[in-house]
Amino acid sequence: MSTTSPWEKVLWKEQPYPDNYIPEGAFLSSLRKNPNFKPYTYWPLVHLSSAITQHLATIFVFLSIFVRLKDHSLDPRTLIFVSLGCFLLGYFVWEVLHYTEKRSNKGDVRFDRVKTFKYSILIILALMSLSPVLRTLSAATSSDSIWALSACLFLLNILLADYGSSSPVNQAPERLTSVLSMNAAISSSVVLASRLSNDLAVFALIQFSVQSFTLFPMLRRQLQASAKTLQVILTLFLSILSLVLTAPLSGTIAYLFLFVLLSVTFFVPAVLVWAQKYKNEIRGPWDVAIPKVN
């Protein structure tokens, strides 16, 4: 009686089987369902969504301040002093996070404070000198076009913003989408500032815009990675502040914004956790082989 050698899944060995042969049950036994799937839990998703909530709240705070500057119910000098205080507070938190991260990782972190201070002075001087130009930038453009352009730019800013976290020590380079998002927000701020009536108000609004859409996202990403409790407190503060500033201007918009905040923060993570049970990714012999290199 002749015995047939068992089939092996190799190409270098000559076997007494057809080229397209496969044993019964071998194909089904090699199928894998969701091999790399890691289920999400609700509260960590809520914490991750706080970055989106903070970003939306920051935009509504900025728009509320713009409306108050436009109808002269807010003194531009008050906004300048408040922006300066927020900058100093944020810088203090940045330094604390930097010091803590440096001690825990024992890494060599270069943080040139003199260069940072010099760049801050240059930016302030540049904004002061460009304020008269920015005020008359869209003098020949109708306000309806300005509102539509600003809304589109802020929408682009929301869609392209970087909502991830980063370590103060090992910071990754800025992604292209983050740069485009920041440019869209600053451009929207510039076109809105051109609707203001005096140079000081333009300078105050652009200064607040630079802090809100350029410096604050950097601090937010570090808080998300290093200080989760402070991140939660900041989310609550910004949400309440945005609602308090928006409600006197329009109750309808305030209610809609509250609905958006609650949906983004609590409802969308719940939907994502619920939808995990429908995930059905099947891996099998048809997948491209991934070499394992030591």
Q: What is the pLDDT of residue 53?
A: 95
Concatenating the DSSP letter of every residue in 268-287 gives HHHHHHHHGGG---EE-TTS
Q: Which domain holds residue 71?
A: 42-104+113-274
Residue 288 covered by a domain: no
280 within domain boundaries: no
Asked if residue 80 lies in contact with residue 205, where contact means CB atoms within 8 angstroms, the answer is no
Q: Taking Cα atoms as reference points, which of 113, 94, 116 lies closest to residue 218? A: 94
In a domain, 285, yes or no: no
Q: Is residue 134 part of a domain?
A: yes
Regions of the chain short of the pLDDT cut 50:
1, 105-109, 168-170
Tell me which residue of 156, 140, 158 sits closest to 194, measured CA to CA.
140
* pLDDT computed for residue 7 by the predictor: 79
Asked whether residue 168 is assigned to any structural domain, the reply reads yes
Tokens 């203001």 belong to residue? 196
pLDDT, tens digit (0-9, with 9 covering 90-100), for 114-149:
676 777 777 778 888 788 888 887 777 888 899 999
Look at phi and psi of residue 106 and say left if phi exceeds 0, alpha if psi is from -120 to 50, else beta.
left
pLDDT for position 103 = 57
Q: 62 with 72: CB under 8 angstroms?
A: no
What pLDDT does 168 receive? 46
In a domain, residue 198? The reply is: yes
Q: How far apart are CA 86 and CA 83, in angstroms?
A: 5
- Prediction pTM value: 0.80
Structure tokens at 159: 């869609």
Whether 146 maps to a domain, the answer reads yes
Domain count, the chain: 1
Tell me if 214 is assigned to some domain. yes
Return the pLDDT at 286: 66
pLDDT value of position 172: 54
Predicted local distance difference test score (pLDDT) of residue 170:
46
- Quote the Cα angle for 159-165-170, to 5°: 130
What pLDDT score does 108 carry?
Answer: 45
